[in-house]
Each structure stands twice: as C-alpha cells, then as structure tokens.
Amino acid sequence: MNDWSLLIFTIAIQAAIGSIWMLWMFQFKHKKKTDQEIFQLFKVPLIVIAALSIIGLGASFSHLGTPSNAFNTIRNIGSSWMSREILVTGMFIGIVVVACAWALYRQRISPWLLFGAGLIGLVDVYCMAAIYTNSLVGPWNSIYTFMSFYGTTFILGSVLAGALLTPVLYKQKKDLEAKQFLNIAFIIMLSGVALQVIGVALFPTSMQEINMIGETVETAILASYKGMIASRWIISIVGIALFGYLTISTFKKLYTRLMILTLLLFVMSEGLSRYVFYLLGS
Amino acid sequence: MTQVGFFIDVTKCIGCKTCVISCKDKNDLEVGRNFRRVYSFETGEFPNPRLAHLSISCNHCDKPKCMENCPTTAIYKRKEDGVVLIDHDKCVGCKYCEWNCPYEAPQYSEELGRMTKCDTCIDLRENGEEPVCVTSCPMRAIEFGPIDELRKKHGTNSDIWGLPSSTITKPNLVIKK
Ligand code: SF4
Ligand code: SF4
C-alpha cells in the first residue's frame, strides 16, 4: 500500500465538502440569527475545514514525484479526469480559504461562499471518482466508486459538522437547536451509509474482462481482505449506534467527548474502507 | 507518418528474458523498473497444457489511453513515427498513466520523480541500428519496424489469452501465437 497520500487527500477533501454543506444548511435553517451569532458559531468550524482542505492539498502534493511541475496538471482538461479534478479541487480549496478569511476579516459569514464551495465540492467528488472509474484498474471500474465517495462525503461531513457545532450549541444552552442539527446530521450520515451499502451490493464480484496485464481476479483479492472489510462495517455500526444514542439521550456530561469519539470511529471506518479501495487497485 | 511497432513471435519465445535484461542494461534501469517484461501464461488443459511467454513493452498505441488521461500532456505521440514519448519537463509524476495502460508500460522512476518507458531505443535507431531487445533475442522472436510491413509479413493479430483486448488502446503490435 503506497497510496497513503491519496487516502488522506480523498478523505480530507470529502469530509471538508460534506461539512461545508452542513454549515450552509445550519445557517439556512437559522436565518433569524444575527450575523454575529452565526460568525461565533462558525468561526472554529470554518478554520478546521479550511485546515482540513489544506492538509488534503498537502497530501495530494506529496503523491507527486515532481511537485514543481504541478501547474502542468491542468493542461489536459479536455480529456483527462485527473486534470479536471485538480482544477475543481483547487477551486474548492480556494473558495473555502477565501470564505474562512472573509469571515475572520469581516466578522460575518458569507452564505454564498459556503454555497459556492458546496456546489463545486459536489462536482469535485464526481471528478475524484471519475479518475478511478475511467482507469483500467478493474475493481475501480464500477458505480461503487461513485457511491463510496459520495457516501464518505455525507458521512464524514455530517459527523464532523455535528462534532464541531453541537457542543458549542449545548454550551450556549441552545439544546433544541443542537438536537435538531444532530438529527439532521444523523439522517444524512445514515443516507451516506445507505449509499455505500447499495454500492457494495452493486459491486461486480466477478470480473468479466481483464483490462490490465497481470491483473488478478477481484473476487480472490476481496476474499483476502475479508477481515478488514468486516472490521470496517463493525466500526461503522458502533459509530451509528453511538451517534444514534447521542441524538436521543439527554445525558450531557460527556457529550463533547462522545461526539469526538463518534467522529473518530467514522474516520476509522471510512479510512479502512478507502484503504481496501486502494489495495484493490494496487 | 510511418507508424512503427513490434512483432512478437510467441511460438519462438522461450521465456529467457534476455530482452528484459538487455533493455535494463541499455536504459540503466534499477531493480523493479522494466521497460520490457516477459509474462508467462498457462493455457490449455491436460493432456494439452501450454505455457506461453509473451514479451511486452510499450506498444506505441494508436489510441494511447495513457496519453488521453495524462493531466499534464507530458505524454505525446511523435509525429514522424508514432512513438509515444514522455516529456520530462512536463511530467509531474502522478502515476496516473500506470492506471491507464493495459500493458504496464509506464514505469515510475523514484529517482527522477517522473514516469519513464520504452522509447524504441530512439538513439540507436538514429544511428541506423535496431532496438536492443530485437538484436539481443537469441530466438529472433522480436521484430521492430513500420507496422504496415510487419502486418503484411505476419498478419494482424494483436491478441492472445492473458493479454487485455487490443480494442482498448489499439496497440501497434503483431503477435504470432
Ligand atoms: S502501451 Fe501503454 S504506455 Fe504505451 S502507448 Fe499504449 S497505453 Fe500508452
Ligand atoms: S506520471 Fe507523468 S506521464 Fe504519467 S500521467 Fe502523470 S504526468 Fe502524465
């Protein structure tokens, strides 16, 4: 496995994209809140999301053998999904950083910047997946790749935004708002998991054609990663249970810690899932 | 443009890998980086099992998927003879071409941080010589030249069991099986 940089890159950017949407949704739902209130709530989340995007960018650079040639990578927009993805990812990260800087400078949030980043982000997830589905690597060549990538975006986006926003809301004694947001996050997380489950069901287990010389049949590879795939789902289920518990419980004492634990569980399960994804291709 | 290509005679190849070694030597390739590789396939069933050896490098395809997907346009098809080359001033070392060549032709150089591959021994050919894999093969199982001529001489087949379909990239390759 030598694709750690790509694993970190895809996971970080997808989490950032999902959580930008969650922030946008929160401010949309709470239009009555003053600019100052929203700013106070979003300040830390925006900094975290911008940092995450920059970590993703750094990881993607570390994948390149000659990063000094990075500007060349957008020369082939016409036919290369890699080119398109790099351009769109660059735009996403750019807007997120601008949104963060703008917020800190003006002490208010621009919903339009969030919305723009979110939209470009969704296109970006498509481009990221298309890189793999358009390659000749058999196991990547399926609808599963799209569903898995969008699934991760929903899952990590909602859990990350939940972990960033709800503890603050509770501290401000806005229990109802926290609960409402947590419920939405929970539903979005579940839909992300559903996407991935359907994706797995649609995953072609027997490969009809060999596209690359020296390629092994994927059922055989999948079988050898059984343990890893099983633990990924077990961790997901524990995460879902814990998140579900947090949405219904009134127990506040350890709330922040449990929310962070939930986030870590999902980072682990998504990380494992992506790890297997890259193993399948190597 | 006269497109060039390779002819591989699987019926002659004994799998000795002299072509692999002479290519490594000529291009100064470290362990693990091979512009030419020999794949061995077992086919048939008892009582007629068969072991076939197939020597493969870059096939300088008519539809090079490596080139189509390279984000930097570093991969290009040379006008005069259709040889597919990598411009190291442009290559960013993203390795995406590795995922897009059916024949494992692009070989990454850690040292250069860039992708490298068979260039049909351009320097030797400029001096009127043949690629080193061709001249080194003790069985004379590899030929190189204008693909039209090779096809006239040996037919047009470029598929064999174990090799990805030639429809993917339209390789300039003729295989006798
Ligand atoms: S053999 Fe592979 S590297 Fe060579 S031109 Fe065809 S697709 Fe490109
Ligand atoms: S490694 Fe170089 S030649 Fe290959 S796709 Fe990337 S930029 Fe193009």
* CB distance A73 to B90 below 8 Å: no
CA distance B8 to B24: 19
Output the CA B91–ligand 2 centroid distance in Å.
5
Does residue A62 sit in helix, strand or coil?
Answer: helix
In chain B, where does DSSP find H-type helix? 18-27, 65-69, 122-126, 132-136, 147-154
Confidence (pLDDT) at A207: 59
Which pair of structure tokens corresponds to residue A101? 């800087």
Which pair of structure tokens corresponds to residue A145? 């790749």
Confidence (pLDDT) at A1: 57
Cβ of B54 below 6 Å from ligand 2:
no
Confidence (pLDDT) at B45: 83
Name the minimum distance, in Å, from the CA of A133 to any CA of chain B: 10
pLDDT digits (tens, 9 = 90+) for A189-199: 999 999 999 99
Contact A65 B99 (CB under 8 A): no
Count: domains in chain A? 1
Strand partners, B84: B77
Output the CA A57–ligand 1 centroid distance in Å.
29
- Identify the sign of the CA torsion A167, A169, A174, A176: negative
Question: ω before A139 within 30° of 0 (cis)?
Answer: no
Number of H helices, E strands in chain B: 5, 9
Residue A139 — pLDDT band, cuts 50, 70, 90? Answer: confident
- The model carries a pTM of 0.94
Q: For the domain B4-175, what is the CATH code?
A: 3.30.70.20
pLDDT at B172 over 70: yes
ipTM of the complex: 0.91
Segment among A106-110, B15-19, B39-43 with least mean pLDDT:
B39-43
Tally the C-alpha atoms within 13 A of residue A260's C-alpha that lie toward its C-beta: 5
Delimit the domains of chain B by residue range.
4-175
Among B99, B167, B173, the strongest candidate for a mutation testing the A interface, having the largest count of A CBs within 10 A, is: B99
Q: What is the CATH number of the domain that holds A143?
A: 1.20.1630
Which pair of structure tokens corresponds to residue B69? 């997907």
Residue A264 belongs to what domain range?
A: 3-280
Which H or E run includes A199? Answer: helix A175-202
CA distance A103 to A204: 46
Those residues whose C-beta lies under 8 Å from the C-beta of residue A183, and which sit 6 or more positions away, are A247
Q: Which of A211-220, B38-47, B94-103 has the highest mean pLDDT?
A: B94-103
pLDDT at A216 over 80: no
Cβ of B58 below 6 Å from ligand 1:
yes
Residue nearest to atom 8 of ligand 2 (CA): B70
Percent share of chain B, pLDDT over 90: 91
